[in-house]
Structure 1
Amino acid sequence: MKHLWRIYLLFLSCMAVGCSDNDTIIIENETTQEGAITLILKGYEDISEGFSVCQPEGFTYPFYIQDQTFHGDVYYFVKSNAERLDAMTEVPAKENNWQQSIDIEEDAAYWAWCAGADRYRYLKFRVIDIEGNNVTIEYVEADAPAGNWNANAGDAYSQEYEMPCLNDSNVFVTHDVDMEGSRILNYALEWNVSKRHANWVAFSFDKTTSADEVSRTDAWEVDPELPSDMQTEEADHKSDGFDKGHLCASEDRVYLKEANEQTFYYSNMSPQLNDFNGGFWRGLEEQVQTWGRSTASETYDKVYVAKGGTLNELLVNFTGTHVSGGTPTTDENGFTIHGLACPASYFMAVLSQKGTEFHAIAFLVPHQEGLTRNPKATDLQHYVVSVDELERKTGIDFFCNLDDATENQVEAESVISDWNW
């Protein structure tokens, strides 16, 4: 397929200078794979002369030219040795030198990996021409590679199904306990240093961890697994008008005294409105705990939970109802009087497993006063979203350790009838 725009430019130049038949140069650039799309990207020499992006259909985010490189905030690139798109048959392994920016070379071919939160997508493209401020490419979407590309590659705990994809700019913390001579994961969190708040917490229910054996311990303590300069403490929550709201709830971990004590680390606390924490949110937690404890009756083998607040969207310029601990307020950036991030919404992503069958559901609830304090199932269902939608809202990649085919299937679901209410 010839590039008509090149022929058109040639025609215009001939009209301007006068071309005879003998002077005509036929420039023929053919796409190298059926279905490939050609596109002119602007911005090679100077973005002030024009700028455009490449955002293929179905891709959440674009990539573009920056400093004579291909660049994308959630893209990674690697150069191919192939000269044609149809010769690029297999996405290179993650261990290859993927990078967020890569030099633009004429006639070079590249792989692109879009690491958008809602779905990983892959692209192959080739530079056809560089002319002035314009770079012409041909591209086609590539099939996802086999296996699990977005799985965590850290220690064994990071590879549990409840874990979201780890963000290298945050600090991954695990808390485990001894059960009959073996260490088992109690819960994990990812600490956001700049927000002084957990990005998420994650844990699972099974026959062991779903047991209800101990009472609430109120064992308030700094998180010993965080560096001292990152630790939050009681003073960070003092007289700010907010509850010290558990992320991993005390009642989520009542199978062992030490397990419950660990839920009282300040790293597991979020500044929550009293009306929210003791009302609607508590009701949603009780529903998820019911699902988790049904592992004892073998309704499920395991129930995996990731919870947190939207650190990418904070509650800004807020003044709430005065309570005994003060009046809850946040500044123009969404931080409390002691500099803790205060989320505008809270979320849960829940995954059930029975044998090889998985189902997922998610909730996104606004952090506000006045929600139903004793929610019924229909009230909870009002805030149901798919995991895919929650990922788009939060920028967090949940359940990344599932194989990609299963992950893509269950994260698109939000089937209320799959769950016992």
Structure 2
Amino acid sequence: MKATREVHVRVGALACGVLGALWLLVGCGSSNARNGGSNDFTDYEPKLLEEPLAVHRSRTRLARYGTYTVAYHIDWRQPQWVAYRLDAMRLAEVVDRRGVGFHSDPLLKNYTLDGANFKGTGYSRGHLKPAADSRSSRTAMQECFYYSNVSPQLPGFNSGSWNRLEMWVRRCAGKTDMLYVATGPCFLGTSRGRMGSTGVPVATHFYKALLRRDGDAWRAVGFVLPHSESRLDGLWQCAVSIDSLERLTEIDFFPLLADSVERVVEANFDRNAWR
């Protein structure tokens, strides 16, 4: 959906049924295109199918790496979104993550957190692009551990429902020609609070926007998971259409899709198409 979003949106009973019918103030707000550079994002135009276009982006900085793109919010001090693609070939590689630790992003080092910011806060360094999606090369694995690719997450969420969704995404990618992923934090209404003394807001929800291509067929679905350590009964209770996810986040997902395709695949989702 390419139309500009309103800041206040009417949200029905979606996203795990936890939002209800509320008025919410939304605060989410080809490989050669990966030029390894960064910019202030004001004049940004997507170059890759997986890259979204946010309505509000004046406080973000963009960096493209070999296997993913990050739009980093300098006030949130965490990504607005991270986007990448995944398929069976990328997952077939088995680069070991041992010996790779979190480290500063060379393009965004003036803005990102570091290990000291997380110490003693009770929050995990939650990958947006997970390490298990970054096994295609040693470089991809190292880039995955940039602090620009993490948000504060509750440990039980990071190892629980978020990890469960990540594993499901990989299973889908292994069965498709290509899977395009955009993911990030949401601040619906208000945040969960701040992380320690850093002042960094903690997300109320985390989302994933997924687009799959199988030959000439396209399918899309979104997920909005509550940032909680409680166990979900099932991931599909958190599934939403991409159009609904766009209204929540004020982000235009997959804007490079042909309009005729985008209108159809983003309006609804078919659970059976993702089995």
TM-score higher than 0.5 here?
yes
Matched, 1:304 2:186: no
Opposite residue 139 of structure 2, the aligned amino acid is E
Amino acid at match of 2:269: S
Unaligned runs of 5+ in 1: 1-112, 119-154, 177-185, 295-299, 317-329
Could you tell me whether the CA contact under 8 Å between 1:117 and 1:396 is conserved in 2? no
Match of 2:95 in 1: 214
Give the equivalent residue in structure 1 for 2:214: 354
Kindly state the Cα deviation for residue 262 of structure 1 after the two structures are TM-superposed: 1.0
The 8 Å contact of residues 160 and 229 in structure 2, kept in 1 or not, is answered as no
Matched, 1:246 2:90: no
* Correspondence for 2:49 among 147, 158, 161: 161
Q: Which amino acid aligns with 1:345?
A: H
Give the deviation of 1:360 after TM superposition.
Answer: 0.2
Match of 2:80 among 176, 199, 221: 199
Q: Deviations over 1:255-307 (max 9, x none)?
A: 2121111111111111101111111110111000111122xxxxx22100111
% identity of equivalent residues: 31
1:205–1:303 CA contact under 8 A, matched in 2: yes
Could you tell me how far apart the structure 2 residues matched to 1:275 and 1:341 are? 18
Query: In structure 2, what is the equivalent of residue 3 of structure 1?
Result: none
Q: What is residue 419 of structure 1 aligned with on the other side? A: 274
8 Å Cα contact 1:346-1:364 kept in structure 2: yes
The amino acid that maps onto 1:302 is M
Query: Given residue 350 of structure 1, which amino acid in structure 2 is its aligned partner?
Result: L
The match for 2:203 is 343
Q: How many residues align?
A: 237
Task: Say what the alpha-carbon RMSD is for the aligned residues.
Answer: 2.2
Asked whether the 8 Å contact 1:302–1:352 carries over to 2, the reply is: yes
Q: Could you tell me which residue of structure 1 aligns to residue 223 of structure 2?
A: 363
Q: Is the 8 A contact 1:191 1:197 kept in 2?
A: yes
What is the TM-score with the length of structure 1 in the denominator?
0.53
CA contact (8 A) 2:179 2:211 kept: yes
- Partner residue in 2 for 1:174: 64
Task: Give the structure 1 partner of residue 250 of structure 2.
Answer: 395
Please state if 1:115 is matched with 2:14.
no
Query: Are 2:152 and 1:271 aligned?
Result: yes
Work out the CA distance in 1 between the residues paired with 2:49 and 2:173: 15
In 2: Cα distance, 1:237 partner to 1:252 partner: 23
1:221 to partner: Cα distance: 0.5
Unaligned runs of 5+ in 2: 8-31, 35-45
Answer whether contact 2:80 2:184 (CA < 8 A) is retained.
Answer: yes
Greater percentage in helix: 2
What's the offset of the Cα at 1:215? 2.1
1:239 is paired with a residue whose SS is coil
* C-alpha contact 1:199 1:311 (8 A) present in aligned 2: no
**How far apart, CA to CA, are the structure 1 residues paired with 2:159 and 2:57?**
33
Tell me how far apart the structure 2 counterparts of residues 313 and 304 of structure 1 sit (CA, whole Å): 28
**What amino acid sits opposite 2:255 in the alignment?**
C
1:229 to 100, 110, 113: 110
Say which one has the larger Rg.
1
- Higher RCO (CA < 8 A, seq sep 6+): 2
Structure 1 residue 231: Cα displacement: 2.6
- Check conservation: 1:197, 1:341, Cα contact below 8 A: no
